[in-house]
Amino acid sequence: MRRLNPATGAVMAVITLCGTTASGQTFSIDDNPRQPLTGYQGFGFGAEDPFGLNLPPVVMGRCGPSPTLLHPVTGPFLDGIPMRPLVPGGPPIADCGPPNGVYLDALSADHSLMSPKWVMFPRLEFSVDRWTDGLPGLPLNTEWIFNQQPGDMYMAIPRPHPGLFVGSLVGRPFAGFLPTAFMPGPHAVWYDESHFGLTAGLGAGVTIPPGVPAPPIVVGSHDNIDAYNEWPFQVLDRNGDMFSDVNFFFSIAPDEAVLAGVSAADLFDVAANTPGTIPVPYAPSFSMGLDTFGGPGSDDVDALIVWDNGVPLGPAWGGPGGEPALDYALFSLANGSRSLFVLQGMGVPADGATVFFTDFTGAFAVYSWGMDLGVRDLQTGDPFANIDALEVFDCYADYNQDLQVNTLDVLGYLNDWVPKAPRADCNHDGVVNTLDVLCFLNFWNAGCPF
């Protein structure tokens, strides 16, 4: 999270430590960053229209704030504040803040410690906005028919871990397509919006179970998950001091970026165990190949997952983070981003539902198309498709990846540890020894956010 200081143009932290609860989910819901809590008012910046694109009426009619931001009991919330469900299905409460003048655009905990790249086939979790639907016959399309899709989190089929592609990008700034970009498959509803205590059109605080028709989506009627982090506090706080031991990364909405003199595609870093401190630049946009095509316009990172291998003061792009060919990230770009416009002009059908990979070497590549995740995207007839939030589900404790944490995972780990298999390097220090057994048991004891 961050606050802009108009006097200095600096990006200031407020109560920055998200996920410091027993909750398994931290999320934000969408609002209008230019006119908080007022909804879409004519042309200009608005919810789901970060660049003021003057979208067609059918799309503009679905822009507007999430009604739970004005919940009569637990609110009023400011736009973009991280929230969590107090109990499944109950009204959400503030997880951080409430700060003033904040819009949370993309959020990621540091996944390098929580999910080593030896977890070979993670599942992607994602959310979509109020007008994005799914391919026929898939759960997203069913939820869209019922007007329930914008508050859900979906899980896509497993695909090779992005860490496998670190150091492999060829070509600048666009490095083409990873093999994972051509792996279509089904998806499932991971969490319905009612799990988070969000509404699908009956008003703040009134939930609707999944698979039930909901009222039509109009301005300010349906909640929309805009950023999301899955990991529970038992994983984030390893030393038990009630502060996260994991860094958090975020980006800034375009109008705030203009005020701060930075790019909406720059990434910032809130260090572990430092609540309330000023965040630092982690990676400038050009280290990801963004904002480099020239011409008018800029890029906007809209969804984000970061793996930071944490080399202190390493050879980064002018700072301590984002080491080339060592750290890596998955991200999406908001519709209206300059890079999407240029790629489409080159015949590459990238859009707001495309998930990209970067290893901070000044390049990015397509990791998956929207249609690979079951989203109806530019290639399948929807030019406004948009993925709002990204998370990866590759919990190391679930070693055999059967969505259960039990003794079979311990046996599976020891079967790899005895022959010193690389995947058994739990602490990621390049050596497989007894420290890795302790590391794995810590993961196993904490469990997974199923």
The closest of 300, 338, 301, 360 to 172, measured between CA atoms, is: 360
Confidence at residue 98, expressed as pLDDT on a 0 to 100 scale: 38
Residue 1 has pLDDT above 80, yes or no: no
- Report if residue 398 sits inside a domain: no
Could you tell me if residue 401 is inside a domain?
A: no
When mean pLDDT is compared over 51-60, 129-138, 365-374, the highest value belongs to 365-374
- pLDDT band at residue 386 under the 50/70/90 scheme: very high
Query: Pick the residue with more confidence: 396 or 143?
Result: 143
In this structure, the number of other CB atoms found within 10 A of the CB of residue 233 comes to 18
Percent of the chain with pLDDT over 90: 39
- Of residues 112 and 341, which shows the higher confidence score? 341
Q: Are residues 298 and 223 in the same domain?
A: yes
Kindly indicate the confidence band of residue 3, based on its pLDDT and cuts at 50, 70 and 90: very low
The CB density around residue 247, as the number of other CB atoms within 10 Å, is: 22
Are 292 and 428 members of one domain? no
Assigned domain for 399 exists: no
Residue 269 lies in a domain: yes
* Stretch 190-204: mean pLDDT: 92
The model's pLDDT over 397-417, given as tens digits with 9 standing for 90+, comes to 888 877 788 999 999 999 999
Evaluate if residue 120 carries a pLDDT over 70.
no
Residue 400 lies in a domain: no
β-sheet bridge partners, residue 6: none
Residues 275, 315 within the same domain: yes
The one-letter code for the residue type at 355 is V
Same domain, 355 and 433: no
Provide the terminal-to-terminal Cα distance of the chain, rounded to the nearest Å: 26
* Most confident by average pLDDT, 23-37, 201-215, 348-362, 382-396: 348-362
Residue type present at position 104: L
How far apart are alpha carbons 446 and 425 in whole angstroms?
A: 18
DSSP labels for 298-342? ---EEEEEEE----TT-S-SSSSS--TTTSEEEEEE-TT-HHHHH
pLDDT at 66: 86
Separation of alpha carbons 56 and 356, rounded Å: 27
Residues 39 and 111 in one domain: yes
Judgement on whether residues 223 and 286 belong to the same structural domain of the protein: yes
Look at residues 105, 68, 63 and name the one whose alpha carbon lies nearest to residue 84.
Answer: 68
What is the mean predicted confidence (pLDDT) over 121-150? 92
How far does Cα 429 stand from its chain's mean position?
A: 27
- Whole-number pLDDT of residue 272: 64
How would residue 91 be classed by pLDDT, with cut points 50, 70 and 90? confident
What is the predicted pLDDT for the residue at 109?
Answer: 83
Q: Residue 239: exposed, middle, or buried by beta-carbon count in 10 A (0-12, 13-18, 19+)? A: exposed
Nearest to residue 101, comparing CAs of 40, 224, 14, 20?
14
Is 307 in the same domain as 381?
Answer: yes
| Integer Cα distance of 327 and 311 in angstroms | 9
Q: Is residue 402 part of a domain?
A: no
Q: Which domain holds residue 441?
A: 407-446
Q: What pLDDT does residue 40 have? A: 38
What is the SS3 assignment for 420-434?
A: CCHHHCCCCCCCCCH
- 389 and 255 together in one domain: yes
Domain count, the chain: 2
Is 448 a residue whose pLDDT tops 90? Answer: no
pLDDT (0 to 100) of residue 347: 97
Is the domain of 194 the same as that of 135?
yes
* Residue 37 burial (CB count, 10 A): 17
Asked whether residue 121 falls in the same domain as residue 144, the answer is yes
Q: Is the pLDDT of residue 376 over 90?
A: yes
41 located within any domain: yes
Same domain? For 417 and 388 the reply is no
244 in the same domain as 117: yes
Q: Which tokens belong to 65?
A: 């704030």
Q: Which pLDDT score, from 0 to 100, does residue 44 have? A: 44
Inside any domain, residue 185: yes
d(CA 120, CA 97): 36
- The H-assigned helical ranges of 201-324 are 233-236, 254-260
The lowest-confidence range among 8-12, 85-89, 113-117 is 8-12
Q: What is the pTM of this model?
A: 0.86
The model's pLDDT over 52-68, given as tens digits with 9 standing for 90+, comes to 666 677 776 677 778 88
Quick check: 224 and 27 in contact, CB under 8 A?
no
